[in-house]
Amino acid sequence: MHVYSLRTPRLLATFGIALLAACGGSSGSTEPQPGGQPTVQATPSLQFTPNNLTVAVGSSVTFAFGSIAHNVFFDNTQGAPSNIGDKSNASVTVTFNTAGTYVYNCHLHPGMQGTVVVR
**What is residue 51's three-state secondary structure?**
coil
Q: How many CA atoms lie within 13 A of 70 on its CB side?
A: 30
Residue 6 covered by a domain: no
Residue 4 covered by a domain: no
Residue range of the domain that includes 53? 26-118
Number of domains in the chain: 1
The pLDDT of residue 113 is 98
Give tens-digit pLDDT for 24-54: 333 454 554 455 799 999 999 999 999 999 9
Residue 37 covered by a domain: yes
Residue 8 covered by a domain: no
- The enclosing domain of 80 has a CATH number of 2.60.40.420
Give tens-digit pLDDT for 67-97: 999 999 999 889 999 999 999 999 999 999 9
The pLDDT of residue 29 is 47
The residues, any chain, with a CB within 8 Å of residue 84's CB and separated by 6 or more, are 63, 71, 72, 73, 92, 94
pTM of the model: 0.72
Residue 42 covered by a domain: yes
